[in-house]
Amino acid sequence: MPTRTLQLGSLEIPAVAVQAALSGYSDLAMRRVARAYGARYALHEVVLDRAVTTKGKLQREILDVPEDDHPVGGQIMGSDPAGFGPAARMMADAGYDVIDLNFGCPVPKVLGRCRGGYLLSTPDTALSMVDEVLDAVGVDRPVTVKMRRGLDLSAESERAFFTILDGALARGVAAVTVHPRTVVQRYEGPSDWSFLARVKAHVGDRTLLGSGDLFGPHDVIRMLDETGVDGVTVARGCIGNPFVFRQVDDLLAGREPEAPRLGEQRAAIEMHLREACALYGARGASRARTHAIKYAALHPDPLAARDAFVRTRTEDDLRAVLDALYPLDRAEERAADVASLSTAAQEVRSCGIGPSSGRADPPSLS
């Protein structure tokens, strides 16, 4: 079967499932692990436009794009259109392959500063941001937009959504990602995939990605089949589960995906710990711990694994848990089937533990 591809302007991705921008999570360590296990495109954590353009340590970190981190998208958030063009230009010059605009974050602190999902109520401002970025980098880099379906379920909010959607596509953005919950809903209740089907019918052959409630590979295939979207961005469903990208490829190829063995899980966690420590030094163990807690959902005894990781504080603590619960003599052991892991992942991840990257007022996990 030919490989299904995702077209982002001039950039062709040989996959339909990509890693979303995840504030506090999708740093270089997470992206490298995801790529090692099948992700072919990943987005950097969302950053404020002014963080990109203001000289200092954070700017240097944002604009450091290693050779092995491609293709990579850079997602920008802010409130003033004038800041978007310069930030986009600097990110493109630094090596980001795609520039993505965040019009979807539902976090109250973000909304209060007229960023993220707030922009869904101000189409003129949102489209001015699109204009600024396209003028700055549109010839050199694909530009994409991330949206929620609106501030709320009102007819006025829906009109604003389609005004921004149509305006962005008419101006030449390469793709749009839509999460079918409203800003007001945040993460409550199931996301309405029928809205994605409506949007795909509306945009025709323009590239549309879907997001929302994708916790395992079967969810990805179901979204593709039910809505007709061209691809998906996996958000919460890939935190602690980089294997989901490989599993999606298996399903598309007609193979039944397998849950990762304990040995594979241990190798992924060890890689994440190693990469995080290389990036953050002494703070790396804390960053890796947050991800390890999410990896626990894949363990045959997920609650025991989660509780063990929660109690860790140091790199040595993390390695002790790996030796105790992921021993080499159990390397071939697996958890239950992949469909069951999707349910377990949602339950384990409800513990609410998550970091703030400091790169922006922490936006959503989509």
Whether 61 is covered by a domain: the verdict is: yes
Whether residues 248 and 266 fall in one domain: no
> Do the domain assignments include residue 316?
yes
Q: Do both 162 and 281 map to the same domain? A: no
pLDDT of residue 3: 72
Q: Both 237 and 286 in a single domain?
A: no
Residues 193 and 316 in one domain: no
Number of domains composing the chain: 2
pLDDT of residue 339: 64
105 belongs to the catalytic site: yes
Residue 359 belongs to a domain: no
Tell whether 129 is covered by a domain: yes
Q: In which residue ranges of the chain is pLDDT below 70?
A: 1-2, 336-337, 339-366
**Are 106 and 177 found together in one domain?**
yes
Query: What is the rounded distance in angstroms from the CA atom of residue 159 to the CA atom of residue 150?
Result: 9
Looking at the structure, do residues 118 and 241 belong to the same domain, yes or no?
Answer: yes
Same domain for 109 and 230, yes or no, is yes
* 326 found inside a domain: yes
Domain range for 266: 262-351
**How much is the pLDDT for 41?**
98
Residue 184 sits in the same domain as residue 294:
no
d(CA 311, CA 267): 21
The answer as to whether 222 is a domain residue is yes
135 and 279 assigned to the same domain: no
Length of the chain: 366
- Which percentage of the chain shows pLDDT scores above 90? 84
CA contacts within 13 A on the Cβ side of 197: 10
* pLDDT of res. 213: 93
Residue 204 to residues 12, 198, 274, Cα–Cα distance (Å): 19, 10, 44
194 torsion bin: left (phi>0), alpha (psi -120 to 50), beta (else): alpha
Residue 357 belongs to a domain: no
At a CB cut-off of 8 Å and minimum separation 6, what does 97 contact? 11, 70, 71, 72, 73, 141, 142
Final residue before a domain boundary, out of 252, 275, 303: 252
Domain membership of residue 364 (yes or no) is no
Q: Do 59 and 119 fall within a single domain?
A: yes
Cα within 13 Å of Cα(133), Cβ side: 34
How far apart (Å, rounded) are the C-alpha atoms in residues 291 and 309?
A: 9
133 in the same domain as 229: yes
Name the domain boundary from 222, 252, 282.
252
Whether 363 and 116 have beta carbons less than 8 Å apart is answered as yes
Q: Name the catalytic one among 105, 114, 238, 277.
A: 105
**Residue found by looking up tokens 């506090």 in the block:** 24
Domain boundary among 230, 252, 274: 252
Residues 271 and 201 in one domain: no
pTM for this entry? 0.91
CATH number for 129: 3.20.20.70
